[in-house]
């Protein structure tokens, strides 16, 4: 960082500004966590200069002995952390991991069954906007009247469509996923079960959510959402790692190796793999387990306080880190709420909710997560403060249309000061920390319409 400051002050200044921003902002992005400075350091190591396709001791380039040791360490730590028999640490993201897994288990045009995007699923679970929905035949299940996964519908669709792969996983689902039930359905039609635990990987690793490692044939996750790791993905397998793939012969673990390299990726990212190794070690610590408990306790407290303030919390609460709000119920679209909150230094993102009539860039919902609040050391008491700050922003905001709104600048200043005060009491441990100046004053009258 010192070299960067000396040689490229413009870029260094932008990076410093981000550090200050993160330290003074109440981030409730459900798909984010903060990486320890040691994870960032590993991710910026000179190991990044190594080009070496292939796997440890089977590279297509010389000079990779140190990288081999790092990758073996990352694999061993990933297996330990999740009690898995097989790990592939090379995927550049969980989207890449999912694409690799689906390509290995399905022929072109083969059928997958996953949670609908509007019900909280993920793009890579067969959305028409994703290559997974274009190259495969995607069928989607949804939620029941309580907002929980409709397992009877999953079983019915599986019987009717005979998918090759059943996907259990979500990006906006606040309740426990019953992986055993998914496996029973997959077995009943001879499908492979893929569990995507990107959002709940930290809870799974610490036993705060049931593990899919032995229930699913294959488990995928991103390494940054709840694991405090670098941007990247991970493929795991447990009891089924030797189960034959669709050809009836090749073990799933060997299929996965090929599916990542050479079938869907080239050179791995060595320093990112080093950062994954560091993050897996930290995620195995007692401190991480305590933080995972706090994440769950905080989400329950946040949901309860917002319910008490009159918000419609989807499913009536939460079992994990996530709280989903019907924000149109309070007269704001998701995008207006998101923008007004951001002006007041609170980050939470718009999200479509079941039966949503607004398009994806507008939405009727708001998704909150407690990963970073817990990493700051905030507990259930502080969740009351967070809920009241959010409520104050919503109350101060008047919608003019689906995307435009008014908010009194004096209120913005007051609310930002409240957020900064809370953040200052619970500072983040960030790499490259710089002193935090006050936020600049907002523009006179704020209307958003970007
Ligand atoms: N999948 C997106 C989300 O849930 O926010 C980004 O990782």
| Number of the ligand 1 atom closest to the C-alpha atom of 123 | 1
| Bridge pairing between strands 54-55 and 58-59 | antiparallel
Least Cα distance to 271 among 30, 4, 74 occurs for 74
Q: Which CATH number fits domain 286-445: 3.40.630.30, 1.10.390.10, 3.90.1150.10, 3.30.420.10?
A: 3.90.1150.10
Spatial neighbors of 444 by CB under 8 A, at least 6 apart, are: 409
Centre of ligand 1 to C-alpha 3, Å, is: 33
Residue nearest to atom 5 of ligand 1 (CA): 31
How close are the terminal C-alpha atoms of the chain, in Å?
33
Check residue 443 and give its pLDDT: 39
Check residue 448 and give its pLDDT: 34
| Bridge pairing between strands 365-369 and 397-399 | unpaired
Least Cα distance to 389 among 437, 431, 341 occurs for 341
- Note the pTM of the prediction, 2 decimals: 0.94
Regions of the chain with pLDDT less than 50: 433-450
DSSP-based three-state secondary structure for 115: strand
Domain 41-283 belongs in CATH node 2.40.240.10? no
Check residue 431 and give its pLDDT: 65
pLDDT tens by residue, 218-275: 999 999 999 999 999 999 999 999 999 999 999 999 999 999 999 999 999 999 999 9
Name residues contacting ligand 1 (CB within 6 A).
31, 122, 171
Centre of ligand 1 to C-alpha 411, Å, is: 31
| Number of the ligand 1 atom closest to the C-alpha atom of 172 | 4
Enumerate the domain spans of the chain: 41-283, 286-445
Residue nearest to atom 6 of ligand 1 (CA): 31
Residue nearest to atom 3 of ligand 1 (CA): 31
Q: Are 168 and 197 in contact (CB under 8 A)?
A: no
Check residue 432 and give its pLDDT: 52
Centre of ligand 1 to C-alpha 359, Å, is: 17
Residue nearest to atom 1 of ligand 1 (CA): 171
pLDDT tens by residue, 403-413: 999 999 999 99
Check residue 1 and give its pLDDT: 87
Check residue 242 and give its pLDDT: 98
């Amino acid at each position: 960082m010192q070299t960067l400051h000396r040689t490229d002050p413009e870029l260094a200044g932008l990076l410093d500004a981000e550090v200050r921003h993160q330290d003074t902002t109440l981030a409730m992005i459900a798909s984010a966590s903060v990486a320890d400075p040691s994870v960032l350091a590993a991710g910026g190591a000179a190991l990044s200069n190594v080009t070496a396709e292939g796997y440890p001791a089977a590279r297509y380039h010389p000079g990779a002995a140190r990288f081999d040791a790092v990758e073996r360490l990352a694999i061993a730590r990933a297996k330990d952390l999740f009690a898995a028999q097989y790990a592939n640490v090379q995927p550049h993201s969980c989207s890449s991991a999912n694409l690799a897994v689906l390509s290995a288990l399905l022929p072109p045009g083969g059928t997958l069954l996953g949670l609908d995007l509007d019900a909280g699923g993920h793009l890579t679970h067969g959305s028409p906007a994703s290559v997974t929905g274009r190259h495969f035949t995607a069928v989607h299940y949804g939620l029941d009247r309580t907002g929980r996964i409709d397992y009877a519908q999953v079983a019915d669709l599986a019987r009717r469509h005979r998918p090759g792969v059943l996907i259990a996983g979500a990006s906006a689902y606040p309740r426990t996923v019953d992986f055993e039930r998914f496996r029973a359905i997959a077995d009943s039609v001879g499908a492979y079960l893929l569990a995507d635990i990107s959002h709940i990987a930290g809870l799974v690793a610490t036993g705060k959510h049931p593990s899919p490692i032995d229930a699913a044939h294959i488990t995928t996750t991103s390494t940054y959402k709840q694991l405090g790791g670098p941007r990247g993905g991970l493929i795991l397998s447990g009891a089924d790692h030797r189960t034959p793939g669709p050809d009836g012969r090749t073990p799933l673990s060997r299929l996965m190796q090929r599916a990542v390299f050479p079938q869907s990726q080239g050179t791995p990212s060595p320093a990112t793999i080093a950062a994954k190794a560091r993050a897996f070690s930290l995620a195995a610590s007692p401190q991480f387990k305590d933080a995972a408990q706090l994440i769950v306790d905080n989400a329950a407290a946040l949901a309860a306080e917002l319910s008490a303030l009159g918000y419609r919390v989807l499913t009536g609460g939460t079992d994990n880190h996530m709280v989903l709000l019907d924000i149109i119920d309070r007269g704001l679209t998701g995008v207006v709420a998101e923008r007004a909150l951001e002006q007041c230094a609170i980050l939470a993102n718009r999200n479509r909710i079941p039966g949503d009539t607004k398009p994806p860039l507008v939405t009727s919902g708001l998704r909150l997560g407690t990963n970073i609040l817990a990493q700051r050391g905030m507990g259930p008491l502080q969740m009351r403060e967070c809920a009241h700050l959010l409520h104050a922003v919503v109350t101060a905001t008047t919608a003019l249309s689906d995307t435009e709104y008014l908010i009194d600048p004096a209120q913005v200043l007051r609310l930002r000061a409240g957020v900064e005060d809370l953040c200052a009491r619970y500072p983040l441990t960030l790499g490259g920390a710089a002193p935090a100046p006050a936020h600049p004053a907002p523009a006179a009258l704020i209307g958003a319409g970007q």
